[in-house]
Homo-oligomer: A and B are copies of this chain.
C-alpha cells in the first residue's frame, strides 16, 4: 500500500474533504482527531499530519493543542500572506501592491457610482454628515464602505489583504484638505458622476503620495 502513484498526503486532503462533506462538518466545528483519522484512513499518523499541516497553512483548518482540529471560517484564509512573504521581496513588488489595491478601489467606485441603487444608499449621506459634523472620517473608512457596497466579497477580501501588506502611511485623522477630497468624492457618488468621482479619487491619491514624498 506504500506504493501509490498519488502521494498519500494528497489522498488525505481529498479524503478529508469527503469526510467533511459526508459528516456535514461546518466551519468552527471539530474534525476527528489525528489518531482517529489515521485509523479510519488506514495510514500513519505522520501522514495524516502532513495533510493537515498543508491545509492549516492554507488557513482551511485550525489546530489547538490539547483540544483538536477545527474547520475554519473560509473567509479568513491566509494564503496571500504566505505567498506574499515569498513573492514580494523587491521594491517593485511593494509598488505593485499599492497599485493593485488602488485598482480594486477604483473599480469599486465605478460599480457604486454607476448603479442608481448603490449610489443612493443612506450610508453616503450619513458619511457626509459625519464628515461635516465630527470630521472623523478617514480614508480607510470611506473606501471600505465603497468596497463593501460594491458587493464583491472576493475583491473586498483582496483589498483587506493588500491593505495589510502595503505601508500604512496615513492612519491618522484627516486634514482639512483631505476632507475636501472626501466630500467631493461622496458628492460625486451620490450624483452618479463617474468621471468626477474617479477624478477626485485620482487627485486624492496623488495628494497622498505627495505627502508621502515629503516625509
Interface residues of chain A, those whose CB is within 8 Å of chain B, are 9-10, 13, 17, 21, 46, 49-51, 53-58, 60, 74, 77, 79, 82-83, 85-89, 92-93, 96-97, 99-100, 103-104, 106-107, 152-155, 157-158
Contacts and interface: CB of A to CB of B under 8 A. Distances in A.
Nearest to A96: B154
Given A152-B100, A153-B93, A154-B97, A74 B86 contact: yes
Contacts of A57: 10, 13, 54-55, 57-58
Contacts of A152: 96, 99-100, 103
Nearest to A9: B53
B155 A100 contact: yes
A13 B77 CA distance: 17
Contacts of A53: 9, 50-51, 53-54
Copies of this protein in the assembly total 2
Main secondary structure on chain A at its contact with chain B?
Answer: helix
A88 B103 CA distance: 22
Contact of A79 (B50, B58, B89, B96): B58
Q: Which 4 A-B pairs have the closest CB atoms?
A: A54-B57, A96-B154, A54-B54, A50-B53
17 contacts: A13-B57, A17-B85, A46-B46, A51-B53, A53-B54, A54-B57, A58-B58, A58-B82, A79-B83, A92-B153, A93-B153, A93-B154, A96-B155, A99-B154, A100-B154, A103-B152, A106-B107
Nearest to A104: B103
A16 to B, nearest CB: 10
A44 to B, nearest CB: 10
Nearest to A50: B53
Contacts of A55: 57
A82 B77 CA distance: 12
